[in-house]
Amino acid sequence: MPSSLSLTPLGTGTAYTRGGRSQTGFLVRAGAHAVVLDLGAGALARLLDEADPAELDALVITHAHPDHCIDLFALHVYLAHGPGRQEPLPLLTPPGLAGRFSAFGGVDHWDEVFATSELPPPAGRLQIRPELTLAWQEVPHLPPTFALRLEHGAGSICFGADCGPNDELGSFARGVDVLILECSFGTGPVPGGVPHLDAAGVVDIARAARPGRLLLTHCYPEHDRRATLTAVSDALDCPVAWAEEGERVDFGD
């Protein structure tokens, strides 16, 4: 089945950012549908420039680190007290995330604003819409952290979340049109025991996944992005680029 998809990065930064970069968020449009993957600090502001949150079919959170979900507080206010939507927004999260936000306080009406579903580890699939499938796969990072894969017709995209080197993600992402991988530590090395990737780790996963194209994200600002891109792209056959906020990528049909 033909499929028309697009990706708009909302945030490509890390746990701290510089240069106006926001924390993690990606808007995926698939036909008439729209899904957001993660919502770190600043990602909601860019989402509001790109789409009405009332349009979203789902918001999916990869893990509980604040740089991937903290703008849920801001979105909650937008939906509960701002121009928000009437029906609860489907929110798909790792187990326990809504409880953490409630414990922080100041989140009355959470269940009226979000229709929360918890994704069970270690992996699964669900139909967000009859023609739109979400799959998730646990990867090594803050337990549990889910890599996410969206499929719409013949089109597919995978976001590897934050993760350390692993064998699962290459299989999970195999053959996608677009693979988004974190490259927190640039040309490397990754400090011992830290569950993130550098260029060599990215190359290992991408070689197993064989995506149509690879986008890099989530690089700490101290690292040389140009040298990192060269190191990754020289080792792979597919096109490689940094994901850039607001720069839409069309794929699928």
* Least gap, CB of 231 to Zn ion (angstroms): 21
Calculate Rg over the CA atoms of the chain: 17
Comparing CB distances to Zn ion, the nearer of 84 and 195 is 195
Comparing CB distances to Zn ion, the nearer of 46 and 65 is 65
Cβ atoms of 68 and 40 within 8 Å: the answer is yes
Q: Where is 233: in which H helix or E strand?
A: helix 225-234
63-71, 115-123, 197-205, 206-214 -> range binding Zn ion (CB under 5 A): 63-71
Task: Report residue 203: phi and psi, to 5°.
Answer: -60, -45
66-74, 123-131, 186-194, 219-227 -> range binding Zn ion (CB under 5 A): 66-74
Q: Where is 71: in which H helix or E strand?
A: none
Site for Zn ion in 148-167 (CB under 5 A): 162
Residue 40 DSSP SS3: coil
Q: Is 65 in the site for Zn ion (CB under 5 A)?
A: yes
Q: Is 198 in the site for Zn ion (CB under 5 A)?
A: no
Q: Is 67 in the site for Zn ion (CB under 5 A)?
A: yes
Site for Zn ion in 167-196 (CB under 5 A): none
* Least gap, CB of 196 to Zn ion (angstroms): 8
Residue 86 DSSP SS3: coil
Q: Is 38 in the site for Zn ion (CB under 5 A)?
A: no
- Distances, alpha carbon 148 to alpha carbons 228, 231, 239, in Å: 24, 25, 21
* Least gap, CB of 49 to Zn ion (angstroms): 22
How crowded is residue 31: how many other Cβ atoms within 10 Å of its Cβ? Answer: 17
How crowded is residue 78: how many other Cβ atoms within 10 Å of its Cβ? Answer: 19
Give the interface size with Zn ion as a residue count (CB under 5 A): 3
Which spans of this chain sit near Zn ion (rule: CB under 5 A)?
65, 67, 162
